[in-house]
Amino acid sequence: MEKVLIIAEAGVNHNGDINLAKNLALAAKECGADIVKFQTAELSSLVSKYADMADYQKENIGKETTQREMLKKLLLSYDDFRKLACYCKEIGIQFLSTPFDINSIKFLESLGCNFWKIPSGEITNLPYLAEIAKTHKPVIMSTGMCTMDEVEAAINILESYDSGEITLLHCTTEYPAPFVNVNLRAMSAMHNKFLKPVGYSDHTTGIEVSIAAVAMGAVVIEKHFTLDKEMEGPDHKASLEPNELRAMVTAIHNIESAMGSSVKKPSLEELKNRKAARKSIVAKRDIYKGEILTEENITTKRPGNGINPMEWFNVIGTYAVRDFMEDELVES
């Protein structure tokens, strides 16, 4: 199985604090994630002063204001991101950030990111998609809130501008996402329709759905995490804490190992257990040489290193080649 790429989504859970962002990066590294991802935006380009908060943002923050006022406290500066990218390189974890506007795309391109992560909210933003595609780098695209037609339209735009390889992430845009709304089979449906790698951006509580997605063929898992779910901010409550993130990473790697190939054959470890677990044809009672073997004098018992019971009807009616004591392996 292809190694699953695990993206620890710090997002804006740094609450606008570069030191907290560095602590998140270090925690992601220590938990075994491949990438720590943030979110980059110019506030004036991201949201108008009239945009309302989403319901989950109001509920998770506990108060109502505008999106602009909320985000003003959550965004890092370009200079912060330069420092953060350097820090990630120092500690040995890949830095990534999702741009939310064209200027942020250009800025992140200057940092030398190897690929792009497109958020669900930008999938219908044609100028944005074109700018991403023109870099010709691979793209991982979340598809929350989307119909299949909208996913197809976005793919067509990206490919028309010669983007790199596209990976599609199934996603339910709600924080936290109720299990009943996950519709994980849609991930497989996208793979079957578009013949592209797929993964899952997980906004549910817990780690179960991410693990299930890997078993269903996800090659990328993105999961929000925080240092403390009780911190103020819109996404903390729908995020994993480090101990949970570590458990998810471990579980994903275990599933990777367990998936194996599509060939049904015993493993080497199984082969050594055949003798102890399988049965052979044995003497049901003492048998004398020349006696006809019947259901009255033979049966099947462990161990499995004698005549295979699948040969039962080939043995019935033959003559005992020698004396056999009760429970002794019958020979032909």
| Residues contacting residue 214 through CB under 8 Å, at least 6 positions apart | 4, 221, 252, 255, 256
Handedness of CA 248, 237, 103, 197 (dihedral sign): positive
- Structure-token match 């018992």, residue found: 301
DSSP character string of 90-121: HHT-EEEEEE-SHHHHHHHHHTT-SSEEE-GG
Give tens-digit pLDDT for 152-199: 999 999 999 999 999 999 999 998 999 999 999 999 999 999 999 999
308 within 8 A of 280, measured Cβ to Cβ: yes
How far, in Å, CA of 27 to CA of 139, rounded?
25
* Residue ranges per structural domain of the chain: 5-259, 268-315
Handedness of CA 231, 234, 237, 243 (dihedral sign): negative
How far, in Å, CA of 73 to CA of 176, rounded?
21
How far, in Å, CA of 98 to CA of 119, rounded?
7
How far, in Å, CA of 100 to CA of 46, rounded?
6
Give tens-digit pLDDT for 87-128: 999 999 999 999 999 999 999 999 999 999 999 999 999 999
Question: From 3.40.30.10, 3.30.110.60, 3.90.550.40, 3.20.20.70, which CATH number describes the 5-259 domain?
Answer: 3.20.20.70
How many helices and strands (H and E) does the chain possess? Answer: 14, 10
Give the percent of the chain with pLDDT over 90. 87
- Rounded to two decimals, what is the model's pTM? 0.88
